[in-house]
Structure 1
Amino acid sequence: MSLSSKQPPDLVPSPVNDISQLRWDQATFLGRLNHFSRITDPRLLLKSRRDVGAAQHLYHLAKEGHVPRGTTQTQLYHAQTLYHSAVHPDSDGIMHPMGRMSAQVPFGMVITGILLALYKTTPQVMFAQFINQTFNAFVNYTNRNAKSQTTNQQIGISYVGAMTGAVGVSVIANKLVKGAPPLVGRFVPFLAVATANCINIPMMRQGEISNGVIVLDKDGHQLGESKKAAAKGITQVCLSRITMAVPGMLLSPVIMERLERYKFFRRGLVFSTGIQTLLCGISLIVMVPVGCALFPQTSSIQVANLEKPLRDKIQHSSPSTKVVYFNKGL
């Protein structure tokens, strides 16, 4: 709700002209990297729901152009960071901490360590993928385009499909690499994770594929729903998630293979898993913001590339609009 023209005495003009505009240019990779390196910071998980609510309130006040007296620009930018880290851009609801991108490093490093340690037998693979896909399903649901409805049935199908795909790929791949050097077998978990992402994300967001996502003009006016925009956004999210996993799941096995030549590092599964987990954590600290920054969160698509009915509608109602925008999710 807009503030009245006569502001209460405790509110003053915001020191930031437009808080909805991010500090870094989101049209460039470096600008997005700066933004995501801050909103994926694991330390933000230590903020309470009350802290997030306060940041959300301050952010909305600043959008209206007024803030409490004494509010500094630094405080506003901190509120902006916490808002974008913990509040969904579509629904404006506070997201569950485990589903936020700031949870990717602490949760992701543990899960990746488990995946890289438990890959040799079918029971190990099933247990590791159960943990991995449960986490992935939660993250994918939390970061979906919230304007597209997802049913419990779709969530269940997505979960089962990703589990089946990941376990199936792992079991088959393990059989194929039995005669190969041990290092080759260590790459099987990455293949399983990449496959699962390509199953889990589209299935979790199949409502967007079936019904389309809302596309907007540059001024934020809704123009309709597009399945092609949904497909583009989901493809970008799949590529981003796979990119996040590449160094940790491909370089860590190589490093561990070298380290395990020394007796000091051959102290059993728990020790080696701990070392791998640490390596994965270091990788994810860098790669989570890199993966998120690969594509703008507010993605775009040429009107000429939309479905014909929607394209015709836009050309009739807004002939000057050549590009439309949508939230691709994370």
Structure 2
Amino acid sequence: MSGEVPPNINIKEPRWDQSTFVGRANHFFTVTDPRNILLTNEQLENARKVVHDYRQGIVPAGLTENELWRAKYVCDSAFHPDTGEKMILIGRMSAQVPMNMTITGCMMTFYRTTPAVLFWQWINQSFNAVVNYTNRSGDAPLTVNELGTAYVSATTGAVATALGLNALTKRVSPLIGRFVPFAAVAAANCINIPLMRQRELKVGIPVTDENGTRLGESTNAAKQAITQVVISRILMAAPGMAIPPFIMNTLEKKAFLKRFPWMSAPIQVTLVGFCLVFATPLCCALFPQKSSMSVTSLEDELRDSIQRSHPELRRVYFNKGL
């Protein structure tokens, strides 16, 4: 679309209808675009300036609507929606596919020995800790002690799960053994995400009305947000960790990989990457980013406060995080 940009575009919201799965999927295919991690600081700051100026009613000459939306998504890919801070590079959603395909591919290739399990589960949980912290909901920071406790607990849980499952699968077929990394990742997500976002469970996350007016902080909203993220993350990992084992189990019986065994890791990484390109945005889209819940489902004190000040309000909204 070309021509002058209309002054009434609501760029606080995504470009596509977020009440539908297709609209959310289009949104997250843009948010998780790996090309965004290649953008320079200058490009990121320029995008933020375009978005900021437009919100103030300043429209640069020649700016098109497509360029405005591109600036919005570039800005959203790098700056936290609640704090406005520039996010850690590897923690951004645009880094999910390249980082996860590399780590997951290696986890699934080097799963037979204890040192390999320890190393790659540690790498994976360290990466997950960065992602979970970077994409937390709300603007309440974790203390150093809380961050350290969460990281150690999540990493220990993941490693213990992987080693325990490895021990149990010694007597079963090699194909079953290939699914140990997925079981460990699923269990670790149930530990890592709540721990990295424990402050939200203690003090709550901001809830607003449909216009964005802040009404208070809710721990019940935090529980719903974290549950949705855990489900999304487990399902996000499933295709890349469930489909390649069948393919690799077949390929490793062929002459090619017997002759060139070092090709196993690159092939597995590529297979995982192909799955993640689609699984990442589609699973992020399972639940609306701007989630909502009934006012009656809030904590008693917050519910009563809202019903006194906004008696007509039925639902509140919050950023669930990613």
The TM-score, its normalising length taken from structure 2, stands at 0.96
Runs of 4 or more, structure 1, over 6 Å off, are: none
1:308 equivalent to 2:291? Answer no
Residue matched to 1:154: 146
Structure 2 equivalent of residue 9 of structure 1: none
- Contact 2:138 2:319 (C-alpha < 8 Å) held by counterparts: no
Alpha-carbon distance, 1:275 to partner: 0.6
SS at match of 2:16: coil
> What is the alpha-carbon root mean square deviation over aligned residues?
1.4
Change in CA separation of 1:238 and 1:196 when aligned onto 2, cut-off 3 Å: same
| Residue aligning to 1:65 | 57
1:144 Cα offset (Å):
0.7
Give distance in 1, aligned partners of 2:221 and 2:206: 9
Q: Is the 8 A contact 1:90 1:146 kept in 2?
A: yes
State which drifts further: 221-230 or 58-67: 58-67
TM-score, normalised to structure 1's length? 0.93
Structure 1: state its 5+ residue gaps.
Answer: 1-11
Distance 1:280 1:293 in 2: 19
1:34 partner amino acid: N
Matches within 5 A, 1:5-16: 14=6
Tell me the residue number matched to 1:198.
190
* Deviation, structure 1 residue 96: 2.0
> What letter corresponds to residue 299 of structure 1 in structure 2?
S
Percent identity over paired residues? 50
The aligned runs of 1:53-202 (5 Å cut-off) are 53-202=45-194
Partner of 1:264: 256
Summarize deviations over 1:213-263 as a string: whole Å, max 9, x none: 111111211111111100000011111111111011011111100111102
Q: CA deviation at 1:269?
A: 5.3
CA contact (8 A) 2:5 2:65 kept: no
Residue matched to 1:45: 37
* Partner SS, residue 76 of structure 2: helix
Q: Secondary structure at the match of 2:59?
A: strand
Deviations 1:161-207 (A, max 9, x none): 11111111111111111111110000000000111111111000000
Structure 1 residue 19 displacement after superposition: 2.2
Q: Assess if the C-alpha contact under 8 Å between 1:174 and 1:185 holds in 2.
A: yes
> CA–CA distance in 1 between the matches of 2:47 and 2:68?
8
Stretches of structure 2 lacking an aligned partner (at least 5 in a row) = none
Measure, in 1, the Cα distance between the counterparts of 2:9 and 2:204.
34
Paired AA for residue 252 in structure 2:
E
In 2, the alpha carbon distance for the partners of 1:268 and 1:13 equals 56
Q: Distance in 1 between matches of 2:71 and 2:17?
A: 18
